[in-house]
C-alpha cells in the first residue's frame, strides 16, 4: 500500500469536508425538496392568475445583484428571485395563454422524469455504459417511426431540439449523396419561403453555405408547388448543376400549412433527390386519425424531424430525427476513439446514440418522454392534439366574424389574421395591435410577414390552452382594436394617414 504523509492526508480530509455540501444527507435533501416542491405547487396553482406575458422586464436586473458563487445563500431567497426575475417576466411558456410562435409544453410528469434522470445522472450516449437509458431512447424512436410510417430499417436520434435534429439530417443527406467540397457550388437545395430558418442554418453549419439555393414558388394556400419544383430541377440539370436536397414542411411556423408531401415525394423519387420533411411542429398530429390525410407523404421522407417539446407537450430540449436508411445515418456520423475501446461489445448489439449525433455527452432526455407515455398511455395526448385542432378552427371562424381578414382555413393549429382599418396603413395598425396585446398580457400572440404584409398569427399547441383561453384571446383582440380605432394617433403616422383606403387591403397572403 502506498504511503501518504500526515500533511497530505490531513489536507485531503479537509477538502472532503469542505466539499460535503455537494452531497447532502437525506434530511437536507428532504428540506431542499420541500421548498422546491412548495414553490412548484404555488407556481402551477397560480398559473391561471398570472399574465401570459409581462411587458415590464426590469426585474431581470435584480439577478446580477445576488452576485455569483460568492458564498452560500438561503434557498428560499433564490426561489423568490427565480419567481420574480425569471418566471415573472416576459413570456410564461407553461401558460395556457401562450398562443404565439409554436408553443412548447412542460407537462408535470416529464419534470419528474427529468428529476430522476438528473438524480441518477444516467449517461445516454453509449450503450455499453448506459444500456437501459439507450434502450428507452430506442423504444421511443421506434414508436415515432411507427406512427410516422417509417420502415423497420429506419434509425434516429433524440436531440436537444429541431435545430440539432435538422443538422443531423442535413449531414446524413450530404454524406449519402457523396458530396465533397468540390461539389458544393453545384449542389442545389430546394425550399419555399416558409421553410424554417433552422434548416438554412443547418446547411451553413454543415459546410454547405456555397450550395445553390432555389426558392420554389407556392400555391394559393402558401404551400410548396411540386410542379414548380420539377421545373426548377429540370432547368438546373440542364445548367450542369447537381440537384440534391428538397426541404418540405409538415406544418410551417408562419402559417401552419402542410406542403403536398406525396406529390413532392414523387418528384424526389423520380429525380433521385433526398427528401427532408420538417415535421417539428406538425408531425405528432399524425396521432390524430383525421390528420393522417393532411400529412400523407410524410412517411416517404428520407429524413424527418419531430419535436416532442411541441406536439407531445414536453419541456423544452426534446427533438428527434428519423432517417429512413439507418445505415446512412451511422455511416455519416460514426467515429472511433481508442479511449472508448471498452465500449465496443457484441452482447447487446445496436449502435450508441453518440455514434449518430454531434452529441457525445448526452443527457438522458428519453426519460421525460418515456415516463408520461407509460404513465398515461397515448389517449390523452391524442385527445389534447385533437382539441387544439378544433380550437384553431373555432378561432378562425370567430375572428372572421369579428371583422378581421383571415388567412386560409387551418390544416393544423396556426391561424393568420389581421385588421384592415378604414384609413391608414393596415401594417401599421396590426403592428400596433400585437404590441397592444403584449401590454395587456392576458394572452400572448405573435406576428409574421407574408409576401411583404404584416399578419398576426395564433398558434394553439400549449396543453393548458382550452376553449376559455380562445374566448379570452378574442376578447383581448376586440378590445385592443376598439382602443386603437378610438386613438388613431397611437398607430397612424402622417404618411400612412394619407394612404388611400382602397390600397390598404392589398399585399397578398390571405
CATH number, domain at 406? 3.90.1150.10
Buried b or exposed e, range 84-114, using 16+ CB within 10 angstroms: ebebbbebbbbbbbbbbbbbbbbbeebbebb
- Establish how many alpha carbons lie within 13 A of residue 461's alpha carbon, considering only the half-sphere containing its beta carbon: 32
Domain identity same for 497 and 422 = yes
Q: Is residue 42 one of the residues assigned to a domain?
A: no
Q: Looking at the DSSP assignment, which residues form a beta bridge with residue 6?
A: none
138 found inside a domain? yes
Identify whether residues 289 and 153 lie together within a single domain: yes
pLDDT at site 67: 85
In a domain, 404, yes or no: yes
The answer to whether residue 329 scores a pLDDT higher than 50 is: yes
Residues 234 and 222 reside in one and the same domain: yes
Confidence class of residue 1 from pLDDT cuts 50, 70 and 90?
Answer: low
431 and 293, same structural domain?
A: no
Q: How would you classify the pairing of strands 453-459 and 187-191?
A: unpaired
pLDDT at 205 over 50: yes
With a cut of 90, say whether residue 273 has pLDDT above it: yes
- Distance between CA atoms of residues 190 and 170, nearest Å: 13
- Co-location of 143 and 281 in the same domain: yes
| Res 348: pLDDT | 60
What is the rounded CA–CA span in Å between residue 278 and residue 72? Answer: 46
Query: Of residues 335 and 189, which shows the higher confidence score?
Result: 189
Average pLDDT of the residues in 399-428 = 95
> Of 361, 376, 391, which residue sits at a domain end?
376
**Same-domain status, 122 and 254:** yes
Q: Is residue 260 part of a domain?
A: yes
Q: 67 and 184 share a domain?
A: no
Q: Based on the fold, state whether residues 157 and 244 are members of the same structural domain.
A: yes
Residue finishing a domain among 376, 392, 414: 376
**Per-residue model confidence (pLDDT) at position 349:** 62
Residues 410 and 356 reside in one and the same domain? no
For residues 52 and 442, the answer to whether their CB atoms sit within 8 Å is yes
Contact indicator for 365, 117 with CB cutoff of 8 Å: yes
Predicted local distance difference test score (pLDDT) of residue 345: 61
**Lowest-confidence segment of 55-59, 139-143, 342-346, 444-448 by average pLDDT:** 342-346
Give the pLDDT confidence of 143-183 residue by residue, as tens digits: 999 999 999 999 999 999 999 999 999 999 999 999 999 99
As a dihedral over the C-alpha atoms of residue 310, residue 312, residue 314, residue 316, rounded to 10 degrees, the angle is -20
Instruction: Flag whether 99 is in a domain.
Output: no
pLDDT band at 347 (very low <50, low <70, confident <90, very high): low
Do 316 and 418 fall into the same domain? no
Do 280 and 329 belong together in one domain?
yes
The pLDDT, as a whole number, for residue 350 is 75
Quick one: average pLDDT of 319-327? 97
Q: Are residues 359 and 217 in the same domain?
A: yes
Find, among 368, 287, 459, 466, the residue nearest to 107 by Cα: 368
So what's the pLDDT on residue 77? Answer: 95
For residue 9, tell me if it sits in a domain. Answer: no
Task: Report the domain count for the chain.
Answer: 3
Residue 10 domain flag: no
pLDDT of residue 88: 93
Tally of residues, the chain: 510
Query: Would the pLDDT of 185 be above 90?
Result: yes
When pLDDT is cut at 50, 70 and 90, the band that residue 495 belongs to is very low
- Give residue 76's domain range: 52-89
DSSP string, 414-455: EEEEE---SSS-HHHHHHHHHHHHHHH-SSB-EEEEETTEEE
**Residue 16 belongs to some domain of the structure:** no
- The residue among 376, 404, 423 that closes a domain is 376
pTM for the structure as a whole: 0.92
Amino acid at each position: 500500500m502506498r504511503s501518504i504523509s500526515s500533511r497530505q492526508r490531513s489536507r485531503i480530509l479537509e477538502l472532503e469536508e469542505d466539499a460535503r455540501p455537494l452531497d447532502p444527507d437525506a434530511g437536507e435533501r428532504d428540506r431542499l425538496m420541500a421548498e422546491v416542491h412548495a414553490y412548484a405547487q404555488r407556481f402551477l396553482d397560480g398559473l391561471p392568475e398570472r399574465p401570459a406575458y409581462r411587458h415590464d422586464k426590469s426585474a431581470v436586473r435584480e439577478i446580477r445583484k445576488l452576485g455569483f458563487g460568492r458564498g452560500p445563500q438561503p434557498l428560499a431567497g433564490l426561489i423568490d428571485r427565480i419567481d420574480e426575475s425569471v418566471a415573472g417576466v416576459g413570456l410564461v411558456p407553461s401558460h395556457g395563454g401562450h398562443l404565439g410562435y409554436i408553443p412548447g409544453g412542460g407537462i408535470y410528469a416529464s419534470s419528474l422524469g427529468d428529476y430522476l434522470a438528473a438524480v441518477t445522472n444516467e449517461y445516454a450516449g453509449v450503450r455499453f455504459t448506459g444500456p437501459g437509458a439507450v434502450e428507452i431512447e430506442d423504444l421511443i424512436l421506434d414508436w415515432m417511426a411507427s406512427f410516422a410510417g417509417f420502415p423497420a430499417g429506419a434509425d434516429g436520434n433524440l436531440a436537444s431540439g429541431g435545430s440539432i435534429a435538422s443538422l443531423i439530417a442535413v449531414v446524413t443527406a450530404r454524406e449519402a449523396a457523396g458530396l465533397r467540397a468540390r461539389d458544393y457550388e453545384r449542389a442545389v437545395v430546394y425550399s419555399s419561403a416558409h421553410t424554417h430558418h433552422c434548416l438554412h442554418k443547418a446547411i451553413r453549419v454543415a459546410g454547405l453555405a456555397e450550395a445553390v439555393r432555389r426558392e420554389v414558388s407556392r400555391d394559393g394556400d402558401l404551400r410548396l408547388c411540386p410542379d414548380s419544383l420539377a421545373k426548377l430541377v429540370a432547368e438546373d440539370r440542364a445548367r450542369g448543376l447537381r440537384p440534391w436536397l428538397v426541404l418540405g414542411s409538415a406544418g410551417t411556423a408562419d402559417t401552419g400549412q402542410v406542403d403536398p408531401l406525396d406529390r413532392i415525394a414523387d418528384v424526389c423519387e423520380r429525380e433521385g433527390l433526398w427528401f427532408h420533411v420538417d415535421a417539428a411542429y406538425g408531425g405528432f398530429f399524425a396521432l390524430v386519425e383525421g390528420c393522417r390525410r393532411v400529412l400523407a407523404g410524410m412517411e416517404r421522407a428520407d429524413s424527418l424531424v419531430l419535436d416532442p417539446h411541441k406536439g407531445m407537450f414536453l419541456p423544452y430540449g426534446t427533438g428527434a430525427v428519423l432517417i429512413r436508411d439507418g445505415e446512412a445515418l451511422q455511416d455519416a456520423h460514426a467515429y472511433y476513439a481508442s479511449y472508448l475501446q471498452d465500449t465496443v461489445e457484441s452482447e447487446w448489439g445496436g449502435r450508441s446514440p453518440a455514434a449518430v449525433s454531434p452529441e457525445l455527452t448526452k443527457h438522458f432526455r428519453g426519460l421525460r418522454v418515456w415516463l408520461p407515455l407509460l404513465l398515461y398511455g397515448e389517449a390523452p395526448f391524442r385527445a389534447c392534439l385533437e382539441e387544439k385542432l378544433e380550437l384553431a378552427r373555432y378561432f378562425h371562424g370567430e375572428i372572421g366574424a369579428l371583422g378581421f381578414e383571415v388567412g386560409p382555413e387551418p390544416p393544423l393549429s396556426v391561424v393568420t389574421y389581421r385588421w384592415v382599418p378604414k384609413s391608414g396603413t393596415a401594417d401599421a395598425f396590426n403592428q400596433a395591435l400585437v404590441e397592444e396585446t403584449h401590454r395587456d398580457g392576458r394572452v400572448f400572440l405573435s406576428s409574421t410577414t407574408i409576401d411583404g404584409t404584416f399578419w398576426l398569427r395564433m398558434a394553439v399547441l400549449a396543453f393548458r390552452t382550452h376553449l376559455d383561453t380562445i374566448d379570452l384571446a378574442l376578447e383581448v383582440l376586440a378590445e385592443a382594436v376598439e382602443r386603437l380605432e378610438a386613438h388613431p394617433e397611437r398607430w397612424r403616422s402622417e404618411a400612412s394617414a394619407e394612404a388611400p383606403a382602397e390600397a390598404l387591403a392589398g399585399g397578398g397572403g390571405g
